[in-house]
Structure 1
Amino acid sequence: MHRTKIFAIVCTIFISIATNAETLLKLDNKMIDSINDHIADASSRCDFKDSTKYYFERTKFFNYSVVDGKEVVEEQSFDEAMSIFKGAMDACYVTLAKEKIISEEIEISKTGQDAVFTSEAFHYLKSTDGKIFESHNKGKVIFSVVDGEVKITESHYFGLAFQEIEKLP
């Protein structure tokens, strides 16, 4: 009888430890900023593997655009998005020359297991042939703790404008 009670107590302790270990990782602003900086740096170096290491294999990708005055949303699967990223990284046609942040906001859930990063920015891109482009965009990225690791589970991108410009502002 005592062995059964002891076994039950030990099992309860192990379950409690395992559950707490899974939720031990909590997202915070510094962590999200660090991941965003890492992705931006790796993308600027055209390092596909490093720039995509935080994406979850079931990440949902949404691209927003305006067509004939109406907002259109295109959803891409993980494989489709990664194929496009890989092609862009392999070509390495443009690199980030300058960034002008308009706004950035991080909202962490009460549990610390999810975070929403929203931003608006101008990105100035320099192509390999010397052309300079200005990209005005908004984005929303959802981070979640998945299997004890921080992963991007959704990515929303809204390209507001994209144009060639004469020189960097």
Structure 2
Amino acid sequence: MLTGERADLVQLLNRQRGFLRFTVQNLTDEQAASQPVPSTTLSLGGLIKHVSATEQSWYDFATGAEASQAGQENWMDAFRMVEGETLAGLLADYEKVAARTDDLIATADLDASFPLPDAPWFEKGASWSVRHVLIHLIAEISQHAGHADIIREAIDGQKTMG
């Protein structure tokens, strides 16, 4: 049983994940793949897929794995459902990723630090601790849960909050 900071991190992650999952409840695959807002990529299924891949990427980083550029050739497909994908499948994949992250929180040295990949959106030569990665992940999921709420409301009027 986790206590203190580790319990807080898992609780905050699960709260944001819950908001995101709530936005897709009772949707068909077609609705989840739809893009009802002015965007070439935003769909609810695509957001689930993107958040899952993002969380997996940060998990890899926080366990010391080298940054990967895999999938960059199909960057747009990382944000939308493609043929053969289902909402149920995307949610199941996300559950596995989330469980691994939760296990990481329980066991990792939160002060361990790793150099960030070379990218224009990161400070050159900077490193992040596992704790920093987890806080960033909470913010990332929260931001996308807000996007998902707007998309869901455009589909059928349902709101996550209120």
How high is the TM-score relative to the length of structure 2? 0.29
Structure with higher RCO (Cα < 8 A, 6+ apart): 2
Q: Which one has the bigger helix percentage?
A: 2
Q: Which one has the bigger strand percentage?
A: 1
Q: Which structure has the greater CA radius of gyration?
A: 1
